[in-house]
Chain A
Amino acid sequence: MTPEENNIASKITRRFGAGILKTDTSSDMLTVTAEKGIIHEVIRVLKEDKEMNFSFLTTLCGIHYPDEPLPLGVVYHLHNLEEKLRVRIKTFLTADFPHVPTVTDLFSAANWMERETFDFYGIIFDGHSNLKRILNVEYLDYFPLRKEYPLEDPTREDKDDRYFGR
């Protein structure tokens, strides 16, 4: 962890205390894991705090770890363009109640990314103005990147397992 990253990590931890579950460096990037209740506030502080100044939302996506107690996750990447610093923020949700507050009020760029995350993982972003499918067909009745669904097209009839070594 570089001194700048260390500074950001300690500042966030001091501000939010036990709400910050973990701060570490993975893949050369500071990663902050926060509880979902404070996630909006954490991102707001990272953006609006004059010293941290993470003014750019690089990406926002979902993830699914089916064996974890909190299987569904949302990952945000923020970028401080002036200091050339990046930070990754994660939060995890239960499968029964996959709700997380929207960040479209902070970053307009989050609009389509949150729709995409909803489309593929069924994570519901409370407060989003237009949360509907964006990439998949409207009539799809499941969330295709969740691990419980097979990747293969369920309507294909010509595939005989014998020909595929299964």
Chain B
Amino acid sequence: MNVKQEQYNQVIPPEGHEGPGFFATRFDKVIGLARKNSIWPLPFATSCCGIEFMATMGAHYDLARFGSERLSFSPRQADLLMVMGTIAKKMAPVVQQVYVQMAEPRWVLAVGACASSGGIFDTYSVLQGIDRVVPVDVYVPGCPPRPEQIIEGFMKIQELAGKESLRRRYSPEYKELLKSYGI
């Protein structure tokens, strides 16, 4: 059965018990599967990495294949904050506020050198990496990264979303992490 599904590029079901007319598996696996294949990204694009992201969303690379057909321009409905480009220090509180407005579970992808570390802009006006204001799950290197790299980063986020325990967001470590950012 799995062979046939792979042939049609379908999502492979998690381990479980199968019989005529029913399939039983673990709740967290089903939820993880649903979450990882329906991530709504919020694109926070400020410069050239944003242009690469436009290519990633376009027909040729087609991020919609990964369940992200629908971008969310409101943080309220977004699952993934994709920060693509240089973030000026004056913009830092805005990035943090967008993150705060997102509902749990939420992930953050830092795309490109600037979002990851400030990049070549080691200067008084530029934030030296968005991990100074929000916790980051995956960093994508490159200046700018190619769409393939952005997709790879996105798939790493999917991996996290699929495997994450349902209770991780209530853990003291997670609360401590947010507290260290003043969120």
Contact = CB atoms under 8 A, between A and B. Distances in A.
A158 B117 contact: yes
B90 A151 contact: no
Contacts of B90: 135-137
Contacts of A135: 90, 125
B128 A151 contact: no
Nearest to B89: A137
Contacts, number: 32
A159 interface: yes
Secondary structure of the B contact surface, majority rule:
loop
A155 interface: yes
Contacts of B123: 151-153
Interface of A: 135-137, 140, 144, 149, 151-156, 158-159
A136 B125 contact: yes
Nearest to A138: B90
Given A137-B90, A137-B125, 14 more contacts: A135-B90, A136-B90, A137-B89, A151-B123, A151-B124, A152-B122, A153-B122, A153-B123, A153-B124, A153-B128, A156-B118, A156-B128, A158-B117, A159-B122
B118 A144 contact: no
Given A136-B90, A137-B89, A137-B90, A156 B122 contact: yes
Nearest to A144: B124
9 contacts: A135-B90, A136-B89, A136-B124, A140-B124, A149-B124, A152-B124, A153-B118, A154-B124, A159-B122
B108 to A, nearest CB: 20
